[in-house]
Amino acid sequence: MIPLRDDQPSFSTPFINYFLIALNVLVYLWEFSVGAQSPRVLNAFVMQFGLVPRHAIAVLSGHSHASPATAIVPFFTSMFLHASFMHVAGNMLFLWIFGDNVEDFLGHFKYVVFYFASGLAAATTQILLNPDSRLPTVGASGAIAGVMGAYFILYPRARVLVWFPPIFFFYVPAWLMLGFWFLYQFFSGTVTVIAETAQQGGIAFWAHVGGFAAGVIMIKVFGERPHRYRYGTW
What is the number of H-type helices and E-type strands within the chain?
9, 3
Q: What span, in angstroms and rounded, lies between the C-alpha atoms of 205 and 182?
A: 9
**Domain architecture of the chain: domains with CATH:** 2-222 (1.20.1540.10)
Torsion of CA 106, 109, 111, 112, to 10 degrees: -170
pLDDT at 232 over 70: no
Averaged pLDDT score across all residues of the chain: 89
Q: What pTM value is reported for the model?
A: 0.90
- 168-173 β-sheet, strand order: 2-6, 159-164, 168-173
Indicate the residue type of 176: L
Q: pLDDT by residue (tens digit) across 27-73? A: 999 999 998 899 999 999 999 999 998 888 888 777 777 777 888 99
Output the CA–CA distances (angstroms, integers) from residue 174 to 98, 107, 159, 193, in the order listed: 10, 21, 6, 29
pLDDT surpasses 90 at 230 = no
Whole-angstrom distance, CA of residue 143 vs CA of residue 141: 5
Long-range contacts of 183-191 (CB under 8 A, 24+ apart): 185/145, 185/209, 185/212, 189/129
**pLDDT confidence band for 234 (50 / 70 / 90):** very low
